[in-house]
């Protein structure tokens, strides 16, 4: 609720309030279905929630709750980097396609392959999602070669902008999962701002030291406002 309050004050429209957390290794996997009431409460406070469903049943439960109990809210579902089963991708997309208040975001897969990323987009479009409610997100690729900056995931701006041009879809950037630390989140955001991204998804926490996942890359609200200022200055100078 503190995150929701701070997000409203910052003018943020959609907020990641995910209930399920896919993990590389065993650990905290989110609070699951028990948190749906919190998502609905946030939606009724004027925040549009974003949730990553791992299976279609997750998407059904969240969509039913938000659409029926928060009549003014929009809902963002997204297909994450680890969810690479095309059958599940299509089923989640079918759920998103059922209501104009639901938007779908597609992140790139973990490994670098432009054709595969295109395939995800084709699968969800085939499932009936309107292009006007579909957006893409670049979260970098798992390092497999040169990574002089030591980023958690390595961005490929050229591929990303080709995807944006080919699909004609909005493309946002995730500096949190590419940077991997607060310092590198700032560094990579400034780097990404030189390119034609349509928005950013940034991890923020009221007290990152107590976060149950990804502590090192989560910004405080003070740091988030500093990041916004950096982006606004870039825009003012006609860089973005």
pLDDT at 24: 84
Structure tokens at 119: 């395939």
In terms of Cβ atoms closer than 10 Å to its own Cβ (0-12, 13-18, 19+), residue 106 is buried
* Residues in contact with 59: Cβ distance below 8 Å, sequence separation at least 6, in sequence order: 51, 53, 77, 91, 92, 95, 96
What global pTM score does this model have? 0.94
Chunked in runs of 10, what are the mean pLDDT values of the chain (240 residues)?
A: 94 94 90 97 97 98 98 97 95 98 98 97 98 98 93 97 98 98 97 95 96 95 96 71
User: Using the 8-state DSSP alphabet, how is residue 220 labeled?
Assistant: P
pLDDT at position 234 is 85
Q: Could you tell me the residue range of the domain that residue 136 belongs to?
A: 2-236
Cα 164 to Cα 11, 22, 135, distances in angstroms: 26, 26, 9
In this predicted structure, what is the pLDDT of residue 239? 47
**pLDDT value at residue 145:** 87
Q: How many domains does the chain have?
A: 1
pLDDT of residue 237: 64
pLDDT at 109: 97
CATH code for the domain of 11: 3.20.20.70
d(CA 121, CA 113): 13
Q: Name the pairing type of β-strands 102-107 and 171-173.
A: unpaired
């Amino acid at each position: 609720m503190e995150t929701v309050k701070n997000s409203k004050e910052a003018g943020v429209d959609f907020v990641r309030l995910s209930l399920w957390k896919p993990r590389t290794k065993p650990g905290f996997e989110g609070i699951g279905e028990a948190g749906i009431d919190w998502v609905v409460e946030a939606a009724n406070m004027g925040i549009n929630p974003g949730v990553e469903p791992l299976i279609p049943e997750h998407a059904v439960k969240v969509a039913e709750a938000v659409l029926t109990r928060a009549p003014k809210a929009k809902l963002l579902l997204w297909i994450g980097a680890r969810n690479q089963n095309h059958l599940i991708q299509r089923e989640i997309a079918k759920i998103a396609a059922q209501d104009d208040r639901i938007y779908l975001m597609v992140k790139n897969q973990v490994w670098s392959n432009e054709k595969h990323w295109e395939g995800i987009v084709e699968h969800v479009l085939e499932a009936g999602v309107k292009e006007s409610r579909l957006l893409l997100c670049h979260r970098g690729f798992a390092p497999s070669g040169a990574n002089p900056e030591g980023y958690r995931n390595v961005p490929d701006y050229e591929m990303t902008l080709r995807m944006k041009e080919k699909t004609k879809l909005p493309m946002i950037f995730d500096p949190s999962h590419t940077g991997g630390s607060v310092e590198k989140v700032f560094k990579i955001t400034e780097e990404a701002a030189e390119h034609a991204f349509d928005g950013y998804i940034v991890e923020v926490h009221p007290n990152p030291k107590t976060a149950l996942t990804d502590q090192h890359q989560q910004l405080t609200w003070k740091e988030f406002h500093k990041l916004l200022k950096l982006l606004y200055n870039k825009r003012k100078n006609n860089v973005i």
